[in-house]
Amino acid sequence: MNWLSLLPTIVSAVSTIKSIIDIANSNEDIVAKIKAAVPKLAAALEEYGGHFFPNVKPELKIAAAAMTAFNEDKAKWLQGSLNALVSPSPNLVVDGFYGAKTRAAVEAFQKQLGLDVDGWAGKLTESAIAALVAKTPAALT
């Protein structure tokens, strides 16, 4: 896929994608809403999700790609939380970029907790992180 040709679509859809992520009730809801709102971008996200998250269920690759590409604040929260919760600490730079090191740290966390290991902090992984953060606030201050 020629990502450069999608740049105008991506730029115009950023606020839409962020809104969808914020109001969606589930990972499946994110996929359905993105497909309806920006079908051309949905196809690109599905391809990207397939490359970056090969172990994510095929029907959720769009959600994985969108949530990691368009939610910098959540990525920063995730990186800071993983630094405190994963042992040994992955020492992630808290920059909001969900790259290979963040994905590897998510995989380590998922393995540590016995979750499906796919490298994506979807709703289940995010909930597990939030629950642990709530139990260990001193480690995150």
Going by the DSSP 8-state scheme, the letter that residue 6 receives in this structure is G
In the predicted model, is pLDDT for residue 139 greater than 70?
no
Distance between CA atoms of residues 30 and 11, nearest Å: 18
**Domains of the chain by range and CATH?**
3-69 (no CATH), 72-140 (1.10.101)
In the predicted model, is pLDDT for residue 6 greater than 90?
no
In this prediction, residue 109 has a pLDDT band, given cuts at 50, 70 and 90, of very high
Residue pLDDT, tens place only, 16-63: 988 998 899 899 999 999 999 999 889 989 998 999 999 999 999 999
Distance between CA atoms of residues 49 and 65, nearest Å: 5
pLDDT for res 10: 81
Distance between CA atoms of residues 69 and 19, nearest Å: 13
pLDDT for res 92: 96
pLDDT for res 140: 52
In this prediction, residue 115 has a pLDDT band, given cuts at 50, 70 and 90, of very high
Distance between CA atoms of residues 51 and 129, nearest Å: 25
Q: What is the DSSP track for 13-73?
A: HHHHHHHHHHH-SSHHHHHHHHHHH-HHHHHHHHHHHHHH-TTS-GGGHHHHHHHHHS-HH
In the predicted model, is pLDDT for residue 3 greater than 70?
no
Residues near 118 by beta carbon (within 8 Å), at least 6 away in sequence: 53, 55, 56, 57, 64, 107, 110
pLDDT for res 2: 63
